[in-house]
Amino acid sequence: MPRSLRQAATNLAGLMDQLDTVLARAPEQIASASDLDALAAVETELVGRKSVVAQVRRSLGTLAAEERPRVGAAVQAAAGRLEVLLAERRSVLEREAEDRLLEDDRVDVTLAHLELGQGTRHLLTSTLEEVADIFVSIGYQVASGPEVETAYYNFDALNTPATHPARAESDTMYVDFGDPRDEMLLRTHTSPMQARYMEQHQPPVYVVVPGRTFRADTLDPTHSPVFHQIEGLAVDTSITFTDLKGTLHYFAQQFFGKDQQIKLIPHFFPFTEPSAEMHVSCFACDGSGCRVCSNSGWIELMGCGMVDPNVFEAVGYDPAEVSGFAFGVGAERLAMVRHGIRHIRHFYENDLRVLGQFV
């Protein structure tokens, strides 16, 4: 064996020994790197240009052909092993580094540094919309009409005699407008739209009319000079009293809950015949009697009835051909009953502490 080869063989044997030593020490060395910088230094030492692995690779060319595969495979395996160990450690250190950053980013989430403000719709508006939607669900349309109205539509067309006390200035607010022969007023109910709507449409008519109404009242727990109603009108070739009853029961169940009972009690209105007052079973006590219903088990909710033939005649419908029912309910009443509101002023003070409760 020539001397040079012998020397090379001796060196190789030493390098291979060193490689074993490196491999044996590497896990501990890598694990002891406490951050990414330290790990980079370890990486240079283990697999860098001056590392044992690099030296062995460089010496491969000097080896005898029959030795090369064995040594090549050994150094490849050693390098691969070291890369895996380094990568595992790097991933751990990277995660730890990010965790530290995130920990530094910690805030007190229980304090609000930003409030996204969204306003609320007024309870009376949402009540009227809800009632309208209930009737839309059974095929009704929705209409609205003027608030400054003529005495003709507010009273005459609705079969209200000229002597009716509701026309008195103690009940109705009149306004100074236009031709003095046309008595002009702030509508006292949404019912004038019955006449207006029928004048403009041919039967079948299924319509609800939400809107603002006025009476010469002073503010007390249940009265306000301004209030809101929703009117209902159904006119067709065969509308009957049982339809009125069924429709109002459907409404009550949709609005108050499916167990809601209703009761119709005879009453009198100039523009309906027969007329009725609709009562609902008290939801506060399920009808057994409590403070909400004055111990009667029932709560008076609205006026209703079959459209009087005189109203049909006033709008040019033939009362022998069509029949219909109408009802009018106060939005304040509905909301007060459903939400336990005991003073009507809560609707008109616009206190955000109140408005914000109804979303």
Considering only residues 269 through 298, tell me which ones interact with other proteins, judged by CB under 8 A.
273-277, 294
Residue (256 or 347) nearer to other proteins, CB: 347
Among 2, 242, 258, 291, binds other proteins (CB under 8 A): 242
Measured between alpha carbons, how far apart are the two ends of the chain, in Å? Answer: 98
Left (φ > 0), alpha (ψ -120 to 50) or beta: where does 111 sit?
Answer: beta
Please identify, among the stretches 35-43, 65-73, 79-87, 237-245, the one whose residues bind other proteins according to the rule CB under 8 A.
237-245
154 binding other proteins? (CB under 8 A): no
Residue (102 or 162) nearer to other proteins, CB: 162
Helix (H) or strand (E) holding 207: strand 205-214
- Alpha-carbon distance of 176 to 180, in angstroms, equals 8
Among residue numbers 175 through 204, which ones bind other proteins (CB under 8 A)?
175-179, 182, 184, 186, 204
116 binding other proteins? (CB under 8 A): yes
Give the shortest CB-108-to-other proteins separation in angstroms: 18
Give the shortest CB-330-to-other proteins separation in angstroms: 14
Among residue numbers 23 through 42, which ones bind other proteins (CB under 8 A)?
none
Helix (H) or strand (E) holding 165: none
Core vs surface per residue 42-75: b (16+ CB within 10 A) or e:
bbeebbeeebbbebbeebeeebeeeeeeebeeeb
The two tokens of residue 153 are: 């539509």
- Burial of residue 1 (number of CB atoms within 10 Å: 0-12, 13-18, 19+): exposed
247 binding other proteins? (CB under 8 A): yes
Residue (29 or 141) nearer to other proteins, CB: 141
Residue 252: closest CA among 195, 333, 325, 194: 333
- Alpha-carbon distance of 214 to 220, in angstroms, equals 14
Q: Among all chains, which residue has been given the structure tokens 């790097």?
A: 90
Number of residues forming the site for other proteins (CB under 8 A) = 86
Give the shortest CB-203-to-other proteins separation in angstroms: 10
User: Residue 67 gets which letter from DSSP?
Assistant: T
Give the shortest CB-301-to-other proteins separation in angstroms: 14
117 binding other proteins? (CB under 8 A): yes
226 binding other proteins? (CB under 8 A): yes
Give the shortest CB-328-to-other proteins separation in angstroms: 17
Phi, psi of 287 (to 5 degrees): 90, 5
Please identify, among the stretches 7-15, 47-55, 92-100, 116-124, the one whose residues bind other proteins according to the rule CB under 8 A.
116-124
Give the shortest CB-315-to-other proteins separation in angstroms: 16
Residue (14 or 221) nearer to other proteins, CB: 221
Residues 6+ apart with CB under 8 A from 296: 282, 289
Among 57, 201, 263, 338, binds other proteins (CB under 8 A): 263
Among 67, 236, 290, 292, binds other proteins (CB under 8 A): 236
